[in-house]
Amino acid sequence: MKILIVEDERRLGQFIRKGLSERSYTATWVASCREARDALCETGYDVIILDLGLPDGDGLALLKEWRQNGFNEPVLILSARDAVQDRVRGLDLGADDYMPKPFSLEELLARIRSLLRRQATSKETVLEHRGVRMDLLARIVTHQGQPVEFTSREFALLEVFLQNVGRVLPRTLICEKIWESHYDIDTNLLDVYMSKLRMKLEADPANPLFKTLRGVGYQLL
Amino acid sequence: MKSVGVRIAFWYMAASLLTLGCFFRVGRFLLEQHMIHSLDLGLASEFEQVKRRLGPEAADLAPAQVAERLALNASVRYLIEVHGADGRVTYRSRNLSDRVIPDKAMQGHLVSLALKRFFQSLKMGSPQQLPADGRTYNAIVGDLGELRIAEYSAGNLMIRVAVPKEQVRNLVVAYQEVFYGMVILMVIASSVIGFALSRILLRPLRQIQATAIQIGSDNLGERIPVSTVEDEISNLARLLNQMFDRLESSFNQVRRFAAEASHELKTPLSLMRLQTEKLLTEGGLTPAQEESLHVVVEEITRLNKIIEELLFLSRAEAAAITIVRKPVDPRTYIESFAQDAQVLADSRDVRLTHMHSGDGRVEFDPRWLRQVLLNLLSNALNYTPPGKRVTVTSQLMPHTWRVAFEDEGPGVPPAERERIFEHFVRLAHTAQHDKGSGLGLAICRSIIILHQGRIWAEDTSTGPGLRVVFEIPLTAATSAGAVTPRTS
């Protein structure tokens, strides 16, 4: 998997490149619009991580240019500007995801995985994992064969986990999927819902179903 | 009279009518003078005739002789009265019968007198066609109406010749009728002209208005077209354009600041967080060290939140935040919010009641408003002890949507209630759950103001606690760019 990192801050760019290399991605780091254009012309990439504030131009303009020229690589915008407007504009211009700074490496990896997987989304209507069975059409959840009552929010939350078994799901990503916003992170709403899921599905505390990654997110084991 | 155009048309009409009225009055006076002048000429020639008939020995004639000489000249039109040297009447024409021609002039109309004086001062008055010892005046005689009278002396006789002014009056009445017709025509013509005039006069103002409506936070670069002619309106347009220049540059400053501050602050924060997490994932730390690093990560997140909130406030105060209004049914919106609110309240062991009344739709930005609801809810939950209640009331009223959060906490003294919406203001008895930045309510107020609404705190209806209420209008106010400007 080849990843292009366009980030003007030297230390941040190198840190991401190193972090990705350790997870066996092939990462290239460039620091300007000009270098990014050259890099993209030379070879294809599976994912591009694009910072918006570049010394020789605007990342959004670069993205627009790429999309007009027919480059379809998934683009993950990495930006300090977290105004909703920029976010919406970025997605409108053809970005595939948007991640506000500061972020954790786990979150970046989760989003990259989600981008790579996007083309091959499973169309399964029944999800199953460790005795938890979820029927998306009938909207029924059973645990060890026993039906469990779920509210619509809990159902949506469980669905996100069952579609990402074993993967770390950052809080921001979950909130975006469930509430279509990232403000809810401010409250402990997600933690409260997680404790409800645990109460309903974790029979044995010694053998947990969900793992909490402090400050990062949750993982369905 | 709310439109300047209507006022201009009205004033134009009033001015035209006033001018017409003045011209009419002067015209009537001049016409009257002209008529009277011709009457006076007639009177003078009648006197000459009387004098001729009486002959040179007029002074010595007996009253019977006077009557005899004048009887031949029995004019129907003129009334003649002859006074002897002793002042007694020696002759009275037949058509006068027993009436007396008065010797006192009646008081003239004030306006007529003023006009007369004015025209005399201009030396435009009719030149006296009468003998030097004669005088003319007007008087009313019973059934004959107003008379024009000329008084002359011939030797020791005094002769008064009079003629009814009926002719003059008739002409004046006819003239007045024409005038009334003219008034009606003038009202119609001047209102049409006045309206057209106001349209022409106000066209530059309408252009200014159309441009001003178009200039929002997204297109501050637009300017009002200024005509090359230097007049009051182009000066106003230039002045407004200068104001827009200043506005644009300060807007741009705020935006640049927001973008640059974000970048400058968040990039180092990213590195701090990444490095800290690296230490945590590499392992080999004592539990106490690990805990310290977790605290660092949590504080980085908190710092980031404060930066975001401050930037949001600075942008909102510069009106650089765009609100995307969508028609939403407040009932379903509140229901959906209450689902999450209930879960949060349960986790704090606080009872939550919510209710909604009224059907219809409200136009607002659902994302921003959700933040307001969440902020108000967490405030209420933070100050409400376990076991107590938080009540959310949503009411759809004819023009506004009102939502109130009522808690059973310690409340806020009235003097502090306005302050809690300011930046970083926290009250002495901060609840233990509160990990907020002290900006939550300020953000709520910004968002509500962006929706042209208002938010305030008040006493609860029952006992202690605080009630925070916000109100937003059902639809965007017309002044806020919701108007589509007409392009002319």
Name the CA radius of gyration of chain A, rounded. Answer: 19
Q: pLDDT class for B2, splitting at 50, 70, 90?
A: low
pLDDT of B278-310, one tens digit each? 888 888 889 898 889 988 988 888 888 888 888
Residue ranges of E strands in A55-118: 57-58, 75-79, 97-100
Q: Do domains B4-174 and B326-478 have the same CATH topology?
A: no
Under CATH, domain B4-174 is a member of which superfamily?
PAS domain (3.30.450.20)
Q: B322, A180: Cβ pair inside 8 Å?
A: no
Looking at the complex, report in whole angstroms how far the Cα of residue B422 sits from the nearest Cα belonging to chain A: 20
Q: pLDDT class for B19, splitting at 50, 70, 90?
A: very high
Question: In the Cβ-directed half-sphere of A177, how many Cα atoms lie within 13 Å?
Answer: 20
Under CATH, domain B326-478 is a member of which superfamily?
Histidine kinase-like ATPase, C-terminal domain (3.30.565.10)
Contacts of B145 (CB under 8 A, 6+ apart): B164, B165, B166, B169
Q: B294, A215: Cβ pair inside 8 Å?
A: yes
Q: pLDDT below 50 — which residues of chain A?
A: none
Task: Check if the beta carbon of residue A217 is closer than 8 Å to that of residue A106.
Answer: yes
- Other beta carbons less than 10 A from residue A102's beta carbon: 24
Of B263, B273, B301, the CB nearest to A53: B263
Distance CA A104, CA A110 (A): 10
Average pLDDT, chain B: 82
Q: Which of A116, A119, A63 is nearest to A94 (CA)?
A: A63
Q: Which of B234, B32, B44, B262 is nearest to B132 (CA)?
A: B44
Given this model, what pLDDT does residue B435 score?
Answer: 58
Burial B422-455 (b: 16+ CB within 10 A, else e): eeeeeeeeebeebebbbbbbbbbbbbbebbebeb
Q: Is the ipTM of this complex over 0.85?
A: no
Given this model, what pLDDT does residue B14 score?
Answer: 92
Contacts of B310 (CB under 8 A, 6+ apart): B439
CA distances from B202 to A29, B8, B195, B460 (A): 61, 10, 10, 52
Task: Check if the beta carbon of residue B59 is closer than 8 Å to that of residue B157.
Answer: yes
Burial B299-315 (b: 16+ CB within 10 A, else e): ebbebbbebbbbbbbbb
Q: Has domain A126-220 been given CATH number 2.60.40.10?
A: no
Q: pLDDT class for B403, splitting at 50, 70, 90?
A: very high
pLDDT of B171-188, one tens digit each? 889 999 999 999 999 899
Looking at the complex, report in whole angstroms how far the Cα of residue B358 sits from the nearest Cα belonging to chain A: 25
pLDDT of B429-441, one tens digit each? 555 445 566 788 8
Query: Which residues of chain A approach chain B closer than 8 Å at the C-beta?
Result: 9, 11-12, 15-16, 19, 53, 80-85, 100-106, 151-153, 179-181, 183-184, 186-189, 192-193, 195-196, 214-216
Q: What is the DSSP string of B103-148?
A: SSPPPPPHHHHHHHHHHHHTT-SPPP-S-TT-EEEEEEEGGGEEEE
Given this model, what pLDDT does residue B392 score?
Answer: 93
Mean pLDDT of B266-273: 86
Distance CA B181, CA B302 (A): 83
CA B311 from centre of chain:
39
Q: A81, B270: Cβ pair inside 8 Å?
A: no
Distance CA B271, CA B266 (A): 9
Given this model, what pLDDT does residue B189 score?
Answer: 92
Looking at the complex, report in whole angstroms how far the Cα of residue B398 sits from the nearest Cα belonging to chain A: 30
What is the third-level CATH fold of A2-118? Rossmann fold (3.40.50)
Distance CA A194, CA A190 (A): 6
DSSP-derived 3-state class of residue B367: helix
> Cis peptide leading into B131, omega within 30 of 0?
no
Q: Tell me the chain B residues in contact with residue A104 when contact means C-beta distances shorter than 8 Å.
A: 273-274, 277, 297
Q: B343, A192: Cβ pair inside 8 Å?
A: yes
- Domain extent listing, chain A: 2-118, 126-220
Q: Which of A176, A171, A174 is nearest to A216 (CA)?
A: A171
pLDDT at B140 over 50: yes
Q: Which residue has the higher pLDDT, A212 or B426?
A: A212
pLDDT at B73 over 70: no
Q: B297, A12: Cβ pair inside 8 Å?
A: no
- Domain extent listing, chain B: 4-174, 232-317, 326-478
